[in-house]
Every structure is written in C-alpha cells, then in structure tokens.
Amino acid sequence: MNDVQIAQEASLQHIDMIGAGIGLGEQDLIHFGPYKAKISYEAVQRILSQPKRAKLVLVSAITPTAAGEGKTTTSIGLTQGLSKIGKKSIVALREPSLGPVFGVKGGATGGGYSQVLPMEDINLHFTGDLHAVTAAHNLIAAAVDNSIHFLTKKTVSVRNVLWKRVMDMNDRSLRDIVIGLGPKNLPRESGFDITAASEVMAILCLSMNYHDLKEKIANILLGFTEDKDPVTVGDLGIQGAVAALLKEALLPNLVQTLEGGPALIHGGPFANIAQGANSVLATNLGLRLADFCITEAGFGFDLGAEKFFDIVSPYGGFFPDCVVLVATVRALKLHGGVSKKVLNVPNAQAVARGIENLEKHLENISRFGVKAVVALNRFPGDTDDEIRIVSALCEKRGVEFALSSHWQDGGEGAKDLAEKVAALCNGSSSPAPKTLYDWKASPEEKISTVARQIYGAEAVDYTGEARADLKLIKSLGYEGLPVCIAKTQSSLSDNPKLLGRPKDFLVTVRRIIISAGAGFLVPLTGDIMRMPGLPRVPAAEQIDIDDSGNITGLF
C-alpha cells in the first residue's frame, strides 16, 4: 500500500472532534471545510492566558541528504507514539511551500502511517496563509515604488531600495530582473525571493498578536533616502494595511494526524535562509493544550535547531526539554561516501565512516545543555550490523537510542521512541534556557561563534560588500540583533559538496541582510540563494488530478 492509498483509506474525523479533544468548542474554530480549521483569535487569547503545562520536544536531524531523513514523519510518528503510551500530545509543524512541493521535495506532510491530513489540502493552498504573506509582502513593494513615483513622504532613493518581491514558487528566472520599464518610469534592477524567505513570513512566525505583528511590520527596513536616511514601512504608514492582509494568516491551523491526534500547522520559513520553525504562537498554544508538544526545526541541527535555540526560543518564551535527533542508515552511508545508487547494499563500513556527522550534531546539542534521543528512522534494508554502529556511538556518548518504524507502523512503531522521550523529559527538571552567544556581542563575534562551534569552521571571511554591510549595521544600531545565518543545508560547511564532518574549512560571508522587523540579521554564506530553481525533473511532472478530483503524486 502506498502513501496515497494509506491517506485515502484513513478515517478522517470531523475537525470539531479534533478540537473537542483539546478543549475547543465549535465556536472556537473558523472552518475551512470538514477537516481543517483555524483557531479563532478569541480562543487563542483565552488559551494563552493559561499556564504552560507541556514538555517541549524539538525534533532535528543530521545533515540532510538525497536519501531523506524523515524529520516530519518522525515528529508525527512520535506524537502518535506518545498517544499510544497514554500521553496527551500535539504536534506543531510548518506549512509546506509550493516551491519545494513542485520542485525537489514533493509533499511535506509526513509519510506512510505517520502523516498529517488532509494531505493534499495542506500541501497545496491549505487555508491561504502563504498567499496572504505573498500579498502582504508585495503590497509593501508596490508602496515603495509608488512612493518613488510620486516622491511622497520619506522616499526611498531608486538607487537604495532593499525590498524585493516574492512568490511561492521556485522560479530562477525571477532572481534578477529589471522593473519600471516604460514611459515616465524609473527603471531599476530588482528581483524575487521565494515567499518562505520573506521577512513578512519571519515576522508572522515570531508574532503573538495583532499589535506585535503590526509593530514588527512597521520596523521593516526598506532602503535609504538620497541623504542615506533609513526608510521603514512605518515611514510609509502602511503597517496597518499590511497587517490587515495577515488577519487570518496569524491564526494557527488545526488538522489531524492519521491516527486522529491534533496537529497545529502554521507558518513556513525555510531553515537554510530563515529561522526554519513554525510560529511561536502555535508552539505556545501546543504548550497549553497537551502534556507533550512536538515541534520540528528545519534541515540539520546546524541550521534550524541552532536558530530555534538562539532566535525562536528567546522570542517565543519557551525552551526545549529534550531534542530528538533523526538519522537513517541510508543517510549515514551517503556521508560515508557511498553513491545513492547502492544505498540498499549493506555497507557497515560506510556507516562507520559517516557516523562522524551524527557525532558532530550530538556535540552541538550538548552545547545548549539539553539531553537528546537519537531516533534511527528504520528502512527495510537496514542490517543489524549497520544499526549496531549507531547504537554503539549513542552508548559511548551516553545518549538514548531508539529504533523507530513509525513510517511502516505508525504510533505503534514509535512507542520505544515515545517511552524514551517521556522518560527523559519527566526524569529531570526542565533545562535552563541557554543561547550559544550573547546577543550584545558584535555581529562578527556571533557569526564566528556559530561558524566555529556549530559548523566546525576554522575561520570566517567577509567579502567587501559584507564588510560594508557590517559598517552600516553598526551605524544604524542593529548590532545587538541575533544572527540567522543563511547556509547550504547539504553540508556542515558552506560548500554543499563537503559531506560527513568537514574540517579546516573557511565560511565566507558575502552579504548581511538587515531584517529589523523580524529582529535578526541574515548573513548570506557561500552560494546560498533566496529563490530556488526547479530541478531538471521537477516533482510537478508526477503530480496529477483525475476526473473525480483525486490528486496523486504529492510524495
């Protein structure tokens, strides 16, 4: 039975029943059909007035590979596993972006018997949140150009515009464009980023209410006047209009796991170019609606999880009680130098070579003073010898190890993982919140700390443009913001070809973007781009709809 058949045969419960299971009445939900809803603003505020009661479990992974590690599937499977052992649990995840759905990754709702449903809806337009972010971002872009056209208010110089446009699709042809052609216009170079990279998306995921949302939007830096004075959204006076477009997008979405458990799906920033976590609002709701709240940080621990600890947690007012680090034998083989074509061939030696990547991520977890469980996402071809190499490393480092078959067996297959997570969370007091660096340190110190301690870099180099950006950051008073480093997800370094645990490498910062509204700086390293392209054979070629409206190929 394939994933689509599993989803189709699942017995979906009405969303009112899912809401009732976490104490929400029909009046607390804004319905989008029978199986998905938003939680009303009034209900959100009521829930937030209650004390936190859940243990927060952060799911992360080793450095991603083409073999796939299954963080989302593991997050859902763990949630279902906790329910199987009698723990009230809820999962809080990001929304999929249409770009990856039609590009390389395909769907992003889990797989096998560990999915969130309705799968097709969530992977496509869902409740329109990403479209709202796109519209809000592009309203700002239109207002900037309108101000330039009429020379109204505090006008951004056409030579000093920082704000691009966005769309929720992988379209490399839009990375660099010329706009303003035609009579009476002022042509200039510009471009598009993908919606997940929008500062509006970051702001949405770091806002707790409408006042917070509007205040952050007003602080967005758009560019500079001819006299080099900074211009913000607040200077244009449109923060209220932008926030109005996000009225419903701010509200977390409620859906269900394949086994009928509650799932909050909200926000969609990428971890290689943004903070890579679902909204702090959804996580804060989850911490008040269950005994365990499971959330996921994008890509490897060096990206999403580092940003979760250093940016998301301080802004959200929470801290993980433990980390689940997902690994697969197949991915470790790739890190050990094996070709993707022979991953199904037993090769304990390759696993032994690739295990250093897992070990580095475990070292990184320990820097935050949090205990970890390694979840080995089991595939049918994994051998006992290959598995023993992973379990032996965990034993050597004093880390819990769990072999999990949640893809094949759902919650039942994740019971061992659930038992170990519950014991780890309940066996000691919650760890004290800790960041890797002091926000008051200089940007160079913060970047160096992450690059050296988390990536394992020898040093950090800056291009001339990046050094100019540092000078500007300090002159504007933004040096106290945390750093949200944009880096390839395919390596601990900024070179995607360096697998395993690279050593003696240099991280090169080529630019630093000021995201004053979101409240962080974005150093761009290596060749990282904020608008992906489609691959030679995009996932879109496999997606179809039949005469009855059934969608296939979203995996």
- The pLDDT tens digits for 338-395 are 998 898 899 999 999 999 999 999 999 999 999 999 999 999 889 999 999 999 999 9
Are 308 and 297 in contact by the 8 Å Cβ rule? The answer is yes
pLDDT tens digits along 306-340: 999 999 999 999 999 999 999 999 999 999 999 98
Query: Residue 183: its pLDDT value, please?
Result: 84
Residue of 102, 379, 401, 505 marked catalytic: 379
Query: Residue 10: its pLDDT value, please?
Result: 59
End-to-end CA, the chain? 14
71 is known as an active-site residue:
yes
Instruction: With a cut of 80, say whether residue 15 has pLDDT above it.
Output: yes
Residue of 163, 270, 292, 299 marked catalytic: 299
Instruction: With a cut of 80, say whether residue 13 has pLDDT above it.
Output: yes
Sequential DSSP letters for 99-149:
HHHHSSS---SEETTEEEESHHHHHTTTTSHHHHHHHHHHHHHHHHHHHHH
Are 117 and 188 in contact by the 8 Å Cβ rule? The answer is no
pLDDT tens digits along 258-304: 999 999 999 999 989 899 999 999 999 999 999 999 999 999 999 99
164 is known as an active-site residue:
no
511 is known as an active-site residue:
no
Are 80 and 257 in contact by the 8 Å Cβ rule? The answer is yes
Instruction: With a cut of 90, say whether residue 2 has pLDDT above it.
Output: no
Residue of 55, 71, 288, 487 marked catalytic: 71
463 is known as an active-site residue:
no
Are 112 and 3 in contact by the 8 Å Cβ rule? The answer is yes
Residue of 87, 94, 288, 360 marked catalytic: 94
Mean pLDDT value across residues 4-31 = 85
Query: Residue 553: its pLDDT value, please?
Result: 85
C-alpha span between 27 and 21 (Å, rounded):
14
Query: Residue 427: its pLDDT value, please?
Result: 81
Q: Please give the single-letter amino acid code of residue 75.
A: S
Residue of 46, 88, 105, 188 marked catalytic: 105
Residue of 407, 505, 520, 555 marked catalytic: 407
Instruction: With a cut of 90, say whether residue 108 has pLDDT above it.
Output: no
Contacts of 455 (CB under 8 A, 6+ apart): 302, 487, 492, 493, 494, 507
Q: Give how far the C-alpha of residue 26 lies from the chain's centroid of Cα atoms, to the nearest Å.
A: 30
Query: Residue 9: its pLDDT value, please?
Result: 53
Residue of 271, 290, 350, 539 marked catalytic: 271
94 is known as an active-site residue:
yes
CA nearest neighbour of 331 among 65, 59, 104: 65
Cis ω for the linkage preceding 532 (within 30 of 0): no
Query: Residue 69: its pLDDT value, please?
Result: 85
Mean pLDDT value across residues 41-57 = 97
Give the sign of the dihedral formed by CA 339, CA 386, CA 369, CA 114: positive
- Number of Cβ atoms within 10 Å of the Cβ of 545: 11
Query: Residue 184: its pLDDT value, please?
Result: 79
Instruction: With a cut of 70, say whether residue 48 has pLDDT above it.
Output: yes
73 is known as an active-site residue:
yes
Query: Residue 437: its pLDDT value, please?
Result: 98
Instruction: With a cut of 50, say whether residue 1 has pLDDT above it.
Output: no
Mean pLDDT value across residues 463-470 = 97
pLDDT band at 5 (very low <50, low <70, confident <90, very high): low
pLDDT band at 503 (very low <50, low <70, confident <90, very high): very high
C-alpha span between 275 and 359 (Å, rounded):
23
Query: Residue 6: its pLDDT value, please?
Result: 56
Residue of 73, 257, 328, 488 marked catalytic: 73
Count Cα neighbours of 250 within 13 Å in the Cβ-side half-sphere: 23
Are 277 and 304 in contact by the 8 Å Cβ rule? The answer is yes
The pTM of this model reads 0.95
Contacts of 468 (CB under 8 A, 6+ apart): none
Residue ranges of domains in the chain, CATH in brackets: 3-127+249-426 (3.40.50.300), 139-245 (3.30.1510.10), 443-525 (3.10.410.10)
Instruction: With a cut of 60, say whether residue 170 has pLDDT above it.
Output: yes
Helix (H) or strand (E) holding 83: helix 71-84
Instruction: With a cut of 70, say whether residue 4 has pLDDT above it.
Output: no
Mean pLDDT of the chain: 94
CA nearest neighbour of 316 among 491, 220, 435, 470: 435
105 is known as an active-site residue:
yes
